Amino acid sequence: MNNNPIGIFDSGVGGLSVARSIREKLPNEDMVYIADSLNAPYGNKSDEFISMRSSYIIDHLIGMKAKAVVVACNTATVSAIDMLRNNYSIPIIGVEPGIKPAVAASKSGTIGVLATEQTVNSVSFQNLVNRFSDEAHIETQSCPGLVELMETHKFEGHEIRYMLERYVMPLLEKGADTIVMGCTHFAFLTKILREIIGSELKIINTYQAVAIETSRQLNVNNLLTSNTKDGDTEFLSSNVHEKTALLFEKLWGEPVIVSGFA
């Protein structure tokens, strides 16, 4: 089983930021990535829908012999990770907003979190915020529409810059000196955000931490591959159209084939 692939899924293409980091950390592992772009974003969906859809996707990944699954989606993690870990015997690795490293990095004691509506409103996220409420003032900002733009190939340009600026400015006005990217999609907007907020403020992404945790989980469960060649990556999407492969290629960094997923 240790030579079976790692399964990774997200509501769309944002989780490719996590997958790329896992590829760098574990170059010999095979991976299967599923983008549920037909249902993106998860940020405006109910807990019940997210739990049902996450289970459906994991069942599919297990059918493809996945030895572990990375939930490369903040919203799916905060909405369904406990249920998923209870229901499946393989390792399930999640991703949550990097509030802990942000608190450690902040000098002003105020941090801002950009996330989806479902993440911001979830009990799990509120519990995370409460854990650090004595150490920092945490301001949250939901970002409706941002993921939708990115899923339509708009990762740069005036429209997405304007929207990102509109969401981050209230956090800066409240004194935030550290911005948490609380959605894996937003990792691909780091360059634009840096142009907006300048070089002095800090930006926190968690994809590297997820890659490290994935490696650790495989190691403690004796699931690291014995392959010495470069691993393969298979890409699937629930919304394949003429531009899908181009979007994946832009974010993955090399040509890929994207198959359909129902």
Q: Which residues are catalytic?
A: 73, 183
Is 90 exceeded by the pLDDT of residue 262? no
Q: Band of the pLDDT at 152, cuts 50, 70, 90?
A: confident
- Dig out the tokens for 104 from the structure: 């450690």
Distances (CA, A) of 105 to 137, 151, 191, 201, 206: 13, 31, 19, 10, 14
- Taking residue 255's Cβ as centre, other Cβ atoms within 10 Å add up to 9
What single DSSP character describes residue 90? S
Whole-number percent of the chain with pLDDT over 90: 94
The mean per-residue pLDDT over the stretch 87-109 comes to 96
Look up residue 100 and give its amino acid.
Answer: K
Q: Is 153 left (phi over 0), alpha (psi -120 to 50) or beta?
A: left
The mean per-residue pLDDT over the stretch 13-24 comes to 97
Q: What domains are there in the chain, each with its CATH number?
A: 6-95+207-260 (3.40.50.1860), 99-204 (3.40.50.1860)
pLDDT tens-digit map of 40-83: 999 899 999 999 999 999 999 999 999 999 999 999 999 999 99
Is 90 exceeded by the pLDDT of residue 140? yes
Contact 176, 112 (CB under 8 A): yes
pLDDT tens-digit map of 214-239: 999 999 999 999 999 999 999 999 99
Is 90 exceeded by the pLDDT of residue 33? yes
Q: What is the pLDDT of residue 156?
A: 83
pLDDT tens-digit map of 99-128: 999 999 999 999 999 999 999 999 999 999
pLDDT tens-digit map of 172-192: 999 999 999 999 999 999 999
Q: What is the pLDDT of residue 167?
A: 98
Is 90 exceeded by the pLDDT of residue 157? no
Q: What is the pLDDT of residue 155?
A: 81
Within 8 A by CB and 6+ apart from 52, the residues are none
What percent helix, strand, coil does the chain show, rounded to 5? 50, 15, 35
Whole-number average pLDDT of the chain = 95
* Helix boundaries (H) for the chain: 16-25, 47-63, 74-87, 99-105, 117-121, 123-131, 146-151, 158-173, 190-197, 207-220, 244-252
